[in-house]
Structure 1
Amino acid sequence: MNQQHDKAEAILHGLIQNHIDDEQFLNNLRAMQSGVGMHNYSEIQIQKTRQALIATNNKGVALYKQGKFKEALDLFEQAIATMPENKTIILNMLKIIIHDLKANPADADKERRARLLLKKARQLGVEQHKLGVLQMEFGKLHRPAAAKA
């Protein structure tokens, strides 16, 4: 029984991490838990996850603003490893990669990573007003590559 509880906790934790920026999903999770008599069970986990996301995001943005692009990218890569579907982390990682590609355009690995992140962001339903500018910036960088594809 305890092993099942641990598995359920791990699943809940993963769901919260990946959907922390999706208020509708979190509300559905809260409603589901209330429906089975577990009122506010996930609220502590939601708040801890939000605080961790904010701390990671702030640290990554600070590194980026200090010109420490590699460190910022490493930090966001670690965050994506634990929150692979988190829209905020994906968007910030894209911003850093695109900025870095403007300064160092001949980096095939970063181009590939940016394409994958753009695709994932579209699949996750990131709002067009947040994604469109990044798509345009990336497109401007890669007209020759797009023509070959």
Structure 2
Amino acid sequence: MNNRTWFLIESDKEYQQCTLRYEEVKHAEKGTIAHREKLLLVHLIAAYEEKSWTLPELDPIALIKIRMKDFGYKPSDLAKEYGDKGTVSKVLNYKQSLSLLMIRKFSELLRIPAQYLIKEYELKTPDTTT
């Protein structure tokens, strides 16, 4: 168990320490001290990111793709998190909208504030002119 006392993040170094610790406890079992620490870290990390970073004005899918590249994730990694490869593929190809469950899971996995994933965006419709 980590005996560290957490405070508001004030530097990139503290941010790195927080994110490293988050990675260690992100699968902590509900009801444990590690799970409570994870919840606290999520809030601290989100507050620091919101204060320190300005995310570009992109549609949610473009933002997801950028963060996937940042973390070295492939669509299959998102499918493992979400549980349905076909749906993830449709979403990443603008053929289906993000669901609330996807927004929650991808927000946590990719560390994108949910407010950026709930924005409306255009879906690609099949060309019906033949």
TM over 0.5: no
The structure with more radius of gyration: 1
Normalized against structure 1, the TM-score is what? Answer: 0.32
Normalized against structure 2, the TM-score is what? Answer: 0.36
Q: Which has the higher helix share?
A: 1
Q: Which structure carries more relative contact order (alpha carbon 8 Å, separation 6+)?
A: 2
